[in-house]
Homo-oligomer: A and B are copies of this chain.
Amino acid sequence: MPTPLTERQNEIYEFIRRFMRTERKPPTLQEIGDAVGIRSVSGVHKQVRALETKGYIERTPNEARGLSLVAQDDPFALDDDGVPDLPVISRTSSDAPDSLRDKPQGLLAVDPYLMRGVRDPEACLIARAGDDGMNAAGLYKGDLLVVEEVPERAVRNGTLVAVLMGETLLARRFELANGRVHFRPADRNYTEHTFPPDDPGYHVVGEIVSVLRRVR
């Protein structure tokens, strides 16, 4: 995900997730404070606002328990009937790119119809688009991208891929030309990234299979 959390912020974020899973509702500010040891609500309020601005939670003003996890951890534990649950992934600075699945933020059920052409459903995961560089191709920042993990050498030329640049995950068109790897945005305002193959500056997660987006 975008900005990394401080140790304290992560402690609070983890508590919120645990609480929602067991209690089936979001905690209040003082419940958070009691749990992590902050005696004053305003202290909690500040922390929670930090989580919000960093994009980890969403809040509804003036509403009791008015917060929700952004990556939608599923506290209601869906159990499925043939519909695969894919892990929603995010990344913090300390994670290695190839251990993305280790701590999924949550699970999202995806109908097999939206995974047509996938060779291995087990290799699929969901990531959020980190910028608007592919708007002209119909992909927007925040979109949930269903991605099939594929080693870079197996990526077909010209396909849409999810690629990690540092800590942000981007959707781009993958092109290999003249021994160089190009990541092409659909929008002229965004710059194309070019690397020698296997440069540590990027990490191809896989090919984009489908897109899910909440409209309202």
Contacts of A78 in B (CB 8 A): 81-83, 111-112
Within 8 A of B (CB), among A74-112: 74-83, 108-112
Number of A residues near B (Cβ < 8 Å) is 45
Q: How does the 8 Å CB contact mask read for A202-213 relative to B, with 1 for contact and 0 for none?
A: 000001111111
Partner-binding segment picked from A17-25, A34-42, A46-54, A187-195: A17-25
Is A116 close to B, CB under 8 A?
yes
**Are A213 and B210 also in contact (CB < 8 A) when A65-B25, A109-B111 are?**
yes
A154 within 8 A of B: no
Binding site for B on A (CB under 8 A): 20-21, 24-26, 28, 64-65, 68, 72, 74-83, 108-114, 116-117, 135, 138-140, 159-160, 207-216
The 4 closest A-B CB pairs, nearest first, are: A64-B64, A109-B111, A83-B109, A25-B25
